[in-house]
Amino acid sequence: MENDKRYFIDSDKLSEAQLRKKHALEDDPSSRTNHMEYMEGMEKIESDIMSKVLNEMDNYDYNSYTVVDVNRALNSDHCTVEDFKALLSPAAAPFLERMAKKARLETQKHFGNTVYLFTPLYIANYCENYCVYCGFNCYNDIRRMKLNMEQIEHEMEVIAKSGMEEILLLTGESHKMSDIKYIGEACKIARKYFRMVGIEIYPTNTDNYRYLHECGVDYVTVFQETYDNKRYEELHLLGHKRVFPYRFEAQERALMAGMRGVAGSALLGLSDFRKDALASALHMYYLQRKYPQAEISLSCPRLRPIINNEAINPLDVHEKELCQVLCAYRIFMPFCGITVSSRESREFRDGIVKIAATKISAGVSTGIGDHESKYTGKEAENEEGDEQFEINDTRSFDTMYKDMSNEGLQPVLNDYLYV
């Protein structure tokens, strides 16, 4: 990738040359690199998971499923891939109540009445990618911010004082501004304050994942955004993220490096959500079969408004459809963790944790350096960088803990002992 300063500094406006390049990327597909070709330095692994997932997705005709198929799936003791496809289909929509009951039984059987709580911490929002739907994209005019180690520790102290024991560290996808060593040092600090440390950063090679695991990382989350190859090419116009197969294989490289667990999903609303939901689950399903020792989790994010583009909204993915997807996930993968983020409403999250979800975020901010003001009400010591997207459920950790308890659930902060 060319070393363009645009990726790494803030500016009030783009230069004429930058604007020309931006418009060329948007209007002329021939100006973009091949999104299926690995860039220099990207590790290739031998794996058949991507081909299996994409083949199943491409051949999925959800309109071919009938109420007979849905009834068969709901009456079965073991949900097959075909059953799962039926449960995602439009034919299953009238059976949502039955799906919810079956999903709830599976959740209670394997997770009891527990719900896990965690919080994300964004430590930088510089990005080298041009993804048209993301608030961090390199062409978006936002306040860029990168916390130094002292600021990171201060943010973590504030969060840890609330009682939180699991943290997810996030950065924008800039290899220069958030290099592996920077992320690793942040993870070492996190391990001082939290018993579970996850990361959601740019995909990287196995040796880097191994180093981050040594720095204290337990699990890795990577969102494929959409498994629709053509749509992926249209949405990711520039940067390392443009390379579809390298992103797809990120979780497997993390597991090869010794990570305890991985998570992933599509960003529902970018393309056909039923096909993306199928591919998301099958991706995790095949990883689980190949790496049975791993903890596998699914998420279900939907598009949210971003700075400078408030018109972005989920494409035909309403709460009923999202509930159908989550119930189908639970029935198909009973042991799988399912996370519902603060992108969703308070009411939806309170309901879905009783049915299918096992993990929710609390005390969330997608901005940079603003946890002190959020957690204590005091003016933040750090400068603040702009958020990646608008959250919906703004509850604090204390409020979330109390609400979950009042709903008859047992909030869990950590269930691991390190010896």
DSSP H or E segment with residue 152: helix 149-161
pLDDT value of position 391: 77
Which residue type is seen at 335?
F
Alpha carbon 46 to chain centroid distance? Answer: 24
pLDDT value of position 373: 58
Number of domains in the chain: 1
Which residue type is seen at 401?
Y
Q: Is residue 57 part of a domain?
A: yes
Between the CA of residue 190 and those of 23, 92, 118, 159, 196, what are the distances in Å? Answer: 41, 43, 13, 11, 9
Alpha carbon 371 to chain centroid distance? Answer: 20
Q: Is residue 86 part of a domain?
A: yes
Q: Is residue 233 part of a domain?
A: yes
pLDDT value of position 9: 36
In the chain, count of helices (H) and strands (E)?
A: 16, 11
Domain that holds residue 176: 5-412
Q: Is residue 417 part of a domain?
A: no
CA distance 198 to 213: 10
Query: Over the stretch 198-231, which tens digit does the pLDDT of each residue have?
Result: 999 999 999 999 999 999 999 999 999 999 999 9
Residue closest to 319 by CA, chosen among 269, 282, 272? 269
CA distance 326 to 129: 30
Q: Is residue 197 part of a domain?
A: yes
CA distance 299 to 313: 18
> Which ranges in 162-223 belong to alpha helices (H)?
180-193, 206-214
Q: Is residue 141 part of a domain?
A: yes
pLDDT value of position 11: 39
Tokens matching residue 13: 């406006």
Residues of the chain with pLDDT under 50: 1-12, 311
CATH number, domain of 362, equals 3.20.20.70
pLDDT value of position 134: 84
Terminal-residue alpha carbon distance, the chain: 44
Strand pairing category for 130-131 and 236-238:
antiparallel
Q: Is residue 418 part of a domain?
A: no
Asked whether the whole model's pTM tops 0.85, one would answer: yes
pLDDT value of position 315: 67
Q: Is residue 408 part of a domain?
A: yes
pLDDT value of position 5: 35
Burial of 138 per CB tally in 10 Å (0-12, 13-18, 19+): buried
Which residue type is seen at 139?
Y
